[in-house]
Structure 1
Amino acid sequence: MDRKLIAIDLDGTTLNDNSKISLRTKEVLQKAQNAGHIISIVTGRPYRISGNYYEELGLKTPMINFNGALGHMPNQEWDKEYGYTVRKDITFDLMENHADFGIENVVAEDKLHSWVNASDHVVPANLTAFFPKATPLNRTSMQVNPNSVILFLSAHQNRDAVKARLLERYGSEITVNVWGGPDPILEVSPRGIEKAVGVDFLSYLYGIRRNDILAFGDESNDYTMLSYAGWGVAMKNGTEIARSLAKDVTAKTNDEDGMADYIEKYLSL
């Protein structure tokens, strides 16, 4: 079998419902890597809360964070590292006009840092682990353009309506996606940057044809990756749209080692 590039989402895919990597999933992914296949994490998470999974799996490949906005080789200087960013002035404009948009909190992030506008409230209890204590966000503290800006909306705000307003104001420069499942949260990313951008970078880097790309995902931020890959596989627990876009669907959920079972059979490990 030709060498495959296997792009793996984290939440709802590689991770079980307790945000852990099961022993079986770890063993199968390491078998695939030892067999010469390329395993790469492609996640919406920032590096600070995903690098631990990279270490646990013992990967030796680049990692894609922020839904394609950052590609890097963890723990080393790498001359092929790339980063797409949102202009910091957009972040400051959102912060200074947050009430007009119905935004209660603004969190800006890059590879190693996060800046929070109002960290003492409005971060849902189930998401506090994603946003540990960060630097206060202001024009002095943040001197770089962030890779991602997370917007926590007021509970009564309609996400689609706020998204439309954001695109009207900054649309030529940004992409806006839903973040955090049912919670009233939006993510502002650089215009046109999706997970497929990161997968395309990896395929070019390793000289892998699209037909030899295997991608696993479950949510809306995985749609472009599942469509781009020669063989996109949605998780059984994935959204209806994810399952419709994929070439196949796992027989089991993320909490049942669905991805590991599929890879083991697909690669005849």
Structure 2
Amino acid sequence: MIIINKKLIALDLDGTTLNNNSQLSELTIKTLKTAVAAGHVVSIVTGRPNRISEQFYDQLGLKSPMINFNGNLGILPHEQWPLEYEYNVDKDIVAELLSKNNELGIKLIAIEGRDLFMANRGATIDMGFFPTILKAGQQLTHQNLQDHHNPISITVAVEPEAMVTMTSYVETHFGDQVSISPWGGKYSIVEIAAKGIQKATGVKILSDYYGISQADIIAIGDEHNDTTMIDYAGLGVAMKNAIPSIKNAANMITKYTNEEDGVAKFLNHQLDLQLAE
């Protein structure tokens, strides 16, 4: 197979590359491995922390850097990468939210870094992404907060009726330092991270690292946090199941949803991988 232009393929995970059971289909794995074998670069660019992304990276057999926390962490899993980076949030903000959690209607506060996860309580079963029972050393308190480095992200779950109050408080007091991003979906959850850092931040670092022009970037996503990389890419692609604003921002929309191997079928056609579907 001869490549006309080497592409950087930046892939969101949830609602995009993964199906609704948070799994990679056999067709998706085969397609992405074929794209890499053909000389393209496939990179995961996700809002997920690395602790719940690396299993998919390994399933795909990737060797490219991975971007986590919506652009705030760039690593080469299992190896050293000279361009490894992370953007952090002042832990004093965490302390402030902990002290006002009742006043602001906060149900859960979790902080994360590359090798850090702590929360003030276990998550409810239906919240997802966080353990329901905290292990030793994972309980977040004012005291042990001071024993750790500044986190990469703060995730806050609030009572639905308290969302405006909580986000307004953070914006008023810390808006010059952080950005607040809703997770999307049915839960009242936001992520607080370094101001101005987005998925496009990581995609640009990847494209520069590989010497791939902006015109040869393909970015595929479905939610609010994918907007910047879809705007930045030469070819921004929205999933058929994407929210309306992502479809409006994209150059193309897949014919199939994430439940129907939309990423695999799109790339198979777009890159002429000639895989039987």
TM-score range, shorter chain: over 0.9
| Aligned equivalent of 1:81 | 84
Alpha carbons 1:13, 1:254 under 8 Å: kept: yes
Q: What is the Cα deviation at residue 9 of structure 1?
A: 0.3
The reply on whether 1:146 has 2:151 as its aligned counterpart is yes
Alpha carbons 2:154, 2:193 under 8 Å: kept: yes
Aligned partner of residue 197 in structure 2, secondary structure: coil
Aligned partner of residue 229 in structure 2, secondary structure: helix
Question: TM-score, normalised on structure 1?
Answer: 0.95
Q: What is the Cα deviation at residue 161 of structure 1?
A: 4.1
Q: What is the Cα deviation at residue 257 of structure 1?
A: 0.4
| Aligned equivalent of 2:221 | 217
Q: What is the Cα deviation at residue 162 of structure 1?
A: 2.6
Q: What is the Cα deviation at residue 191 of structure 1?
A: 0.5
Q: What is the Cα deviation at residue 7 of structure 1?
A: 0.1
| Aligned equivalent of 1:34 | 37
Of 258, 262, 268, the match for 1:254: 258
Q: Which runs of 5+ in 1 are unaligned?
A: none
The reply on whether 1:236 has 2:237 as its aligned counterpart is no
The reply on whether 1:192 has 2:196 as its aligned counterpart is yes
Distance 1:190 1:105 in 2: 20
Aligned partner of residue 58 in structure 2, secondary structure: helix
**In structure 2, what residue type is equivalent to 1:126?**
D
Q: What is the Cα deviation at residue 78 of structure 1?
A: 2.4
**In structure 1, what residue type is equivalent to 2:106?**
I
| Aligned equivalent of 1:176 | 180
Q: What is the Cα deviation at residue 137 of structure 1?
A: 1.1
Of 3, 26, 34, the match for 2:6: 3
Alpha carbons 1:174, 1:191 under 8 Å: kept: yes
Alpha carbons 2:33, 2:60 under 8 Å: kept: yes
Tell me how large the CA RMSD over aligned residues is: 1.3
The reply on whether 1:97 has 2:100 as its aligned counterpart is yes
Q: CA deviation digits over 1:197-220, x for unaligned, max 9? A: 110110111111110000000001
Q: Which runs of 5+ in 2 are unaligned?
A: none
Q: State the identity as a percent.
A: 42
How many residues end up aligned between the 2 structures? 265
Q: What is the Cα deviation at residue 129 of structure 1?
A: 4.5
Q: CA deviation digits over 1:160-207, x for unaligned, max 9? A: 443222111100000001025220111101111111111011011111
Alpha carbons 1:91, 1:149 under 8 Å: kept: yes
Distance 2:252 2:179 in 1: 28
**In structure 1, what residue type is equivalent to 2:177?**
E
Distance 1:160 1:177 in 2: 13
Distance 2:19 2:225 in 1: 18
Alpha carbons 1:149, 1:188 under 8 Å: kept: yes
